[in-house]
Structure 1
């Protein structure tokens, strides 16, 4: 399943749900509050900006926001709500596309990094974030914790949500760390149902931290949600903040590493 095919015109049309779901004030409010605090006085870049769910209210808080987005229909939907001056958007993949300038904050929300289906692409996403950040800048990722403990032994699937008119089912390929989310939506009357499927590569928090290290980041904080609740073994998701060292810190680290090698190494005669 190609991501551009998944996020087509119909998906973009159905994506926004003002006031409910991920657009509910109790969900969106804390997200924007935390990102605004992390951006401070600097500009922000959103990978996979979508229809502007987060970027538009964040820009409304006075944070200059640029987006990168792979789906043209999603960009078109965003343009119905905000012009190119309010939220400039670069068309392209979040692992490779580049936006002009340097940023204080790069962020990825609502599990979007898992849309990259290989470990190599996910590592490149971290490296792309690092390329866009000024020294000391932060990369923020919101991501779910793989729920393999809920998967019965030998079973390939689990129901993760069920309510009248909707069933969410995940099928797992544990060898490749792939999961496909199946969204079944039923009409109030009749037997017809609509099925939407989205593939993901799930990432364990420790693996995510290693990706950050490979790109030059240090983990600054990890919480269970945007309100900074404690992250525990029972948390179903996390908000992780990674930070690049400042120029002064990076120079010190390099001098320390070089000095350590010189002091502890003696060449053979």
Structure 2
């Protein structure tokens, strides 16, 4: 998680309750990453923005050696409290800046966390750091909203979003197209009181991401329409892009 994300630091004890996607989504994410790891060189995996371990811990339970980077110590405390959490090697800091030791078969960032990096420069820096830590033939994997889908969701007004514990959560998205930015505002009803959470993102098109990757010495190996591995088509609302470091 990049620095400045006070919402995660302040709400770490409720993060899993409010921001965990359905179990089927996590299972699909873990399954695709595990499948991609099988096609990568032998080596450990590194998650950028590891948070409370939603993806890293199930991957580790499958037998993978998983490392992580996150800026919020409070999120890492939540990870450490879970079964297997003490065994993950984790660096603290902005994942576009921290140079975690080791070489990795696969580096990944899930849950649209990559776009919490606030600028094109930070996002490009992340690509370059990931590239430097990959083994030859290694993979860098990220998920990303399509700008067109963001426009549609921003125009839909306030809508309810599911939470893991069933509490009422409402989300409003506001776009700032001139800066390729959007803001998600959440109102969560907990203990009879609404709490407000704001998250800022800097989005990028698939073409811009591919150019960043090329600048970092990576090339696009494949692009899926979701974490289930369905084809990427004109009807996709987001994509999972797999970049490869040439062997």
- TM-score, reference length from structure 2: 0.88
Q: Deviations over 1:80-135 (max 9, x none)?
A: 01566621101111111011110000000010010011000000010010011011
Aligned match of 1:250: none
Counterpart mapping for 1:74-89 below 5 A: 74-82=75-83, 86-89=87-90
Q: Deviations over 1:7-56 (max 9, x none)?
A: 21x421111149x952x331111211111122234210000100011101
Residue pair 1:221, 1:240 contacting (<8 A) in 2 also: yes
Q: What CA RMSD, in Å, does the superposition of the two structures yield over aligned residues?
A: 2.4
**Deviation of residue 195 (structure 1)?**
1.2
Aligned match of 1:48: 49
* Aligned structure 1 segments of 4 or more residues deviating by more than 3 angstroms: 82-85, 186-189
| 1:25 matches 2:20 | no
In 2: Cα distance, 1:35 partner to 1:187 partner = 34
Query: Which runs of 5 or more structure 1 residues have no equivalent in the other structure?
Result: 247-269
Aligned match of 1:118: 119
In 2: Cα distance, 1:149 partner to 1:76 partner = 36
2:33 maps to which of 35, 39, 54 = 35
**Deviation of residue 74 (structure 1)?**
0.4
**Deviation of residue 228 (structure 1)?**
1.1
In 1: Cα distance, 2:17 partner to 2:168 partner = 16
Residue pair 2:80, 2:86 contacting (<8 A) in 1 also: no
Query: Which runs of 5 or more structure 2 residues have no equivalent in the other structure?
Result: 162-166
Q: Secondary structure of the residue that 2:179 maps to in structure 1? A: coil
Residue pair 2:3, 2:94 contacting (<8 A) in 1 also: no
